[in-house]
Amino acid sequence: MAEFKDVLAAQARKPSAKGAARKLRAAGRLPAVVYGKGVEPLHISIETKEFVESRKHFGKTHLYHVDVEGGNKVPVLIQDIQVDRLRRDVQHVDFWAVDLKKPVTLRINLEMTGRPAGVVKGGKFRQLRRTVDLVGNPGTIPNKLVIDITDLDAGESIRLENLDLPEGVKPAAEDNHAVCMVAAPKRGQLEQQAKKAAAGK
């Protein structure tokens, strides 16, 4: 079984032209930079394969640590990933150095699972939000939220206050907006369902 690491071994590098970056990538290393508020930008390189596999396993909102050879271990979040448009391989990564005691705001994906009870009755499911902004200390915000919509009945909705969030994590939005709902079936649909039910008796 593969071993995934969220501590990325890094080597310091000098800010360089595209030629040097190409040589790094050809050698299996990925150019990257670490920056943040009150932090001097740190230019590094990391193993490309290790980063790609770790990113796929842990996700973008995961708290990583960049362990710089001969330096410090820096807690970071992934700020940006540059990908080649044609080959689709990673070209460069921007890491955001964070303070573990200060909250951050991150956008995560919402994934719905199950078939709503209201849809079974003829209603129409509507996913109103595919992402949500969450606030919490680095390392506490999940990579995504999986929402079970099986019990969602016609005319009902799931709002921000209904989300099952880790302790210390809360929605960034001040309003309690809905992320999904089941619209009640129209009158004609209800009549058709009643006829089918009667015919089945």
Sheet holding 157-159, edge to edge: 124-127, 178-183, 157-159
Strands 7-12, 73-83: pairing kind: unpaired
User: For tokens 């800010």, what's the residue?
Assistant: 15
Total-model pTM: 0.82
For the chain, residues classed under CATH 2.170.120.20 are: 104-188
pLDDT of residue 188: 53
- pLDDT (average), residues 189-195: 54
Which residue, 25, 35, 43, is CA-closest to 76? Answer: 35
pLDDT of residue 1: 43
Strands 73-83, 131-136: pairing kind: unpaired
Instruction: Give the whole-angstrom CA distance, residue 55 versus residue 39.
Output: 23
For the chain, residues classed under CATH 2.40.240.10 are: 7-97
pLDDT of residue 49: 93
The three-class DSSP label of residue 128 is: coil
Q: State the fold for domain 7-97.
A: Ribosomal Protein L25; Chain P (2.40.240)
Q: Which superfamily does 104-188 belong to?
A: Ribosomal protein L25, C-terminal domain (2.170.120.20)
Q: Is a pLDDT exceeding 70 seen at residue 64?
A: yes
Residue 122 CB-half CA count within 13 A = 13
Q: 74 falls in which pLDDT band (50, 70, 90)?
A: very high
